[in-house]
Each structure stands twice: as structure tokens, then as C-alpha cells.
Amino acid sequence: MTFTGLFAQLLAIVLALALAPLLTGWINQWRAWLQNRRAPSLLQPYRVLHKLFNKESVVAETASPLFRVAPYVMFGCMALACGIAPTLSTDLPLAPAADAIALVGLFALARVFISLAAMDIGTSFGTLGARREMLVGFLAEPALLMVLFSASLITQSTSLAKIVETLAHEPFAIYPSLAVAGVAFTMVSLAENARVPVDNPATHLELTMIHEALILEYSGRHLALVEWAASLKLFAYSCIGLALFVPWGIAEAGTPLTILFAIPVLVAKLAIGGVLLALIETINAKMRLFRVPEFLATAFLLAVIALLVHVLLGA
């Protein structure tokens, strides 16, 4: 373990914790501007977290220890996922031990805990949200794995760091398999992060909400951790997409100075991605819940097609 690698790993996690709410605020701003509404402050997510951390947590009498532990587990999984994804450097101490498959496992672990916590209280909304969340996860995880496998076939490795190192040195060219996989990854990312058209993060209508139904019983610091974890998940998916499809600008093993130079590149790519996400949410309408399996089945089919295109055509 080199000093540069340890520095890059710690900096990536700290940067994710700091920038994840900012990315959420940036997307919310652009959604409002594109819809001709008055935009909230860019720092609004930080103000919400500050308010929640200073409020008392109210826990139901029927809550088990699982209900109290779930926000911490979810937050830890998302922070670790941001540390695994190569955002600033490929020289990461966690890279050899945690590859793309382990990354999907972290997302699944967080989903299981928050779903069990939602059902722990025994309310109808919590159980409704947990069932919908597990349905989305059941359909989204295979599609995400197929996307990661498509990239791993090109680089002969499931390590995201190795994928970035290989693709960044390839001559600039459009791989048909990666192009199709990119569409599938975008669809999975929208579903996993409760974005339009699968879910609307700004609504509390019980007939349509998925993510919000899971956290209705949380308050205070527990709710703050859940909301922060949701921002970290969006940040992690954004960084995974950048690592797979726009790997240029991520520093390799070098000096801390080269890693610092990678920060403005990362911020610029996240800013562009945030605008594109807001545009996708603006031009699409919230679909019916029973259409979500068709949406994610299409993502899985596209990911499989990307896999077959590479196997059969080598492109």
C-alpha cells in the first residue's frame, strides 16, 4: 500500500461525502429551471441535513434494533461503494479486494436492510414501499451485472480500476457494445436512484412513491443518514458510469498532485451528467408502477445484447 494510493482512497471517500449532496442540489436546480420554476438553493441539501441532524429522532415503540441500525448500514455501504469506484485514481487499496460484483453486493445489502427496516414497524406504507423496492432491485441488479460484464469482457477483468486503466489507454473509438450498455446503465441508474420515469423523488403520493414510502417512519439523525446515503448512491452510480463510459481524466498511479488535478475534471463531468439527468427527468413522465418491470426488462435485454455484440463481433 503506497502513500499515494492511501491518499487517493481517503480523498475519494471524503470528496464523495462532501459532493454527494451538492450533486443532488445541482440536479434539483436544473430540474426547476427546465420546468420554468424558481430553483432552490444549490446548498439546500446541506441545510436539510443540518436541520435533521439537530432534530430529535422519534422511534416507534414497536421498532426493533434493526430499525435503528439500518440507516447506519445503508450509509456505510454507500460510502464504501463511493470508495470502491475509481473517481480520482486507479491506484486504490480497496481495488484488488472489491470488484464490480462486490459493488453490486453492497447496493443489495443496503437495499435489504432499508426494506427490512421499513417492514419492521408494521405500517402499511412501509411494507408497500419495501415490496416495491425489492421488485425494482430484483429486476435492476441482473441488468447492472450484465452491463458490468460487458465492460469486463473488453478488459478481461471485473475490477473497475482495471477497466478504467484499459479503456483510458485505448484509442478514442465508439464500441457498439459499450454504447448499448450505456443506454442500459442509464435506465438502471434511473430505477435504482428513484428518479423519473420509475419514481419521483419530489412526491409523497402513496400510490406512486417507492423510496419515500421506505423512510416515512424515520426522523432526526436517522432520516439525515438515509437522505445522505441516497445522495451517495446517486454519486456512486454517476462515478461508475463515468468510470465505464468516460474514463478519461482519472489519474493513474502517480503523485498526489496529479490526483488533485483530477478533481476539477471529475466535478466538470458530474456537472454535465447532472444536467443530462435533469433533462431526462424533464422530458419524461412518471410511468405506472406496473410498467416498471417492462422498463427494467428492456434494460436487461439491452445489456445482454451489448454482451452478445462483443462476444460475436468483438466490438
b (16+ CB within 10 A) / e for 111-145: bbbbbbbbbbbebebbbbbbebbeebbebbbbbbb
C-alpha cell at 257: 498532485
CA distances from 252 to 33, 90, 96, 268, 311 (A): 37, 5, 15, 19, 29
Phi-psi region of 200 (alpha: psi -120 to 50; beta: other; left: phi over 0): beta
- Give the number of other CB atoms < 10 A from CB of residue 1: 9
Grouping H, G, I as helix, E, B as strand and the rest as coil, residue 158 is coil
Task: For the chain, state the CA radius of gyration.
Answer: 19
At 208, give phi and psi (nearest 5°).
Answer: -120, -25
- Given this model, what pLDDT does residue 49 score? 97
Predicted confidence at residue 206, as pLDDT, reads 65
Sign of the Cα torsion 310, 95, 104, 83 reads negative
pLDDT in tens, 146-203: 999 988 888 888 888 888 888 877 766 678 888 999 999 999 999 999 998 998 877 7
Tens place of pLDDT for every residue, the chain, 315 residues? Answer: 577 878 888 999 999 999 999 999 999 999 999 999 999 999 999 999 999 999 999 998 889 999 999 999 999 999 999 998 888 888 888 877 778 888 999 999 999 999 999 999 888 888 888 999 999 999 999 999 999 998 888 888 888 888 888 887 776 667 888 899 999 999 999 999 999 899 887 776 666 778 888 888 999 999 999 999 999 999 999 999 998 898 888 876 667 788 888 899 999 999 999 999 999 999 998 888 889 999 999 999 999 999 999 888 876
Domain that holds residue 306: 3-313
Q: Please tell me the predicted confidence (pLDDT) of residue 227.
A: 95
Q: Which residue in the block uniquely carries the three cell numbers 417492514?
A: 119
CB 259 within 8 A of CB 11: yes
For 119, residues 6+ apart whose C-beta sits below 8 A from its C-beta are: 126, 127, 130
Burial class of residue 75 (count of CB atoms within 10 Å of its CB; 0-12, 13-18, 19+): buried
So what's the pLDDT on residue 76?
96
Q: Which three cell numbers stand for residue 67?
A: 430499525
Structural domains of the chain, count: 1
